[in-house]
């Protein structure tokens, strides 16, 4: 993973955009987790 991180930084990609996308994906996973948990109850 360290190599991929260096590649991202080296390409001058907007780091804030990458972090925002990762946070959105993380939030989506938590929403799915909660929905599956709720359906299982």
- pLDDT tens column, 1-41: 678 877 777 777 788 888 999 999 999 999 999 999 999 99
| Residue 2 confidence (pLDDT) | 79
| Residue 9 confidence (pLDDT) | 73
Distance from chain centroid for Cα 38 = 23
- pTM (2 d.p.): 0.64
Q: Any idea which residue has 């990762």 for tokens?
A: 22
CB atoms within 10 A of CB 8: 13
| Residue 1 confidence (pLDDT) | 60
């Amino acid at each position: 993973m360290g190599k991929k991180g260096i590649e991202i930084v080296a390409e001058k990609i907007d780091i804030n955009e990458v972090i925002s996308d990762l946070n959105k994906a993380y939030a989506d996973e938590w929403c799915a987790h909660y929905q599956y948990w709720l359906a299982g109850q």
